[in-house]
Amino acid sequence: MSRYDIPLSILVAALAGAVGIAAIPREVRGQVAASDTAPPPPPPEADDESPDAPPPPGALPPSKPLDIDRAEAQLSSFGRWVDTPEYGRVWIPSGVSGDWQPYTDGRWVYTDWGWSFVSDVPWGPIVFHYGRWGFGVGLGWFWAPGIVWAPAWVSWRYSDGFICWAPFGPAGYAYPREWHGWAVVSREHFTHPLRREVLPWAHVHTIVRGARPAPSIQNVPHAGVPYGPPRAHVPRARAGGGRHR
C-alpha cells in the first residue's frame, strides 16, 4: 500500500473528529467506532431458564382424569401392545435405542409435588406420569397402564455429587439383581435435558449403592411432599423461586 492508499476506516475516523459524527453520511457512519463496540454475549440457552419461571403444564396434574381407552389409542401410534400373563396388556415403545431407559427423554422441574418429569417425546405425558415400567426378556422395556397421576413414578436416591432415579415396576414385578432402570446424572446437570447428561451404565453401580434414599411416592402422591432430592441440593434450583402449583 502506497502512502496515498489510506484505509477508509482511518479517513472516516479523522472526518468524525473534525466535523462530528452527525455530519457523516449514514451509509458511512456505521463504520465509525465499529471496533470500539463490545460484542454482545451469546443468548441464554434453554437450560438457563429462570428458577421462578412457571413449569410447563406437563409437569402438573391434569384437570381431568386419564381416559385409558383414549390413551391406549394414542400410544398405538408410537409402539405396540402385547398381552402378558404376568401384567396383562402392556405397551412397548418403538424407535428407542438398545440402551434406552425410561425417564431420560426430558428434564426435571420443581413443583408443589416435588420434582416432576417433563417429557420431550409425544407419548411421554402418559407413560411417565401414569403406570409402571418393567423390563422383560424378549420385550425390553414395557409400560403397564395405570390411572393415578404422579409427578414421576420413580424411586429416588442422591449423594453429594449425583442424583439417581429408577422407575417403579408393576405390581408383582421381580427386580433383577442388576436393575438397569437406574439413571444417574451429576447434580449440576440435573435440570438439563437428560438425554445428553445420563451417565453410562458402567459408572452407575457404585454411585447408586453409595447414594442415600430421597422421598419417593408410596401408593399415591400428595401435594406438598417434596418428592426427590432436596431442592437445595440442586444448584440451579436453589437460586430462588417458590414452588409452582
> What is the pTM assigned to this prediction?
0.76
Q: Which amino acid is at 13?
A: A
pLDDT (tens digit, 9 = 90+) per residue, 112-146?
999 999 999 999 999 999 999 999 989 999 999 99
Rounded Cα–Cα distance for residues 130 and 15 (Å) = 71
Please, where are the H alpha helices in 33-89?
68-75
CA dihedral angle for residue 117, residue 121, residue 122, residue 128, rounded to 10 degrees: -30
pLDDT (tens digit, 9 = 90+) per residue, 4-43?
455 544 444 444 454 454 554 555 445 444 445 566 666 5
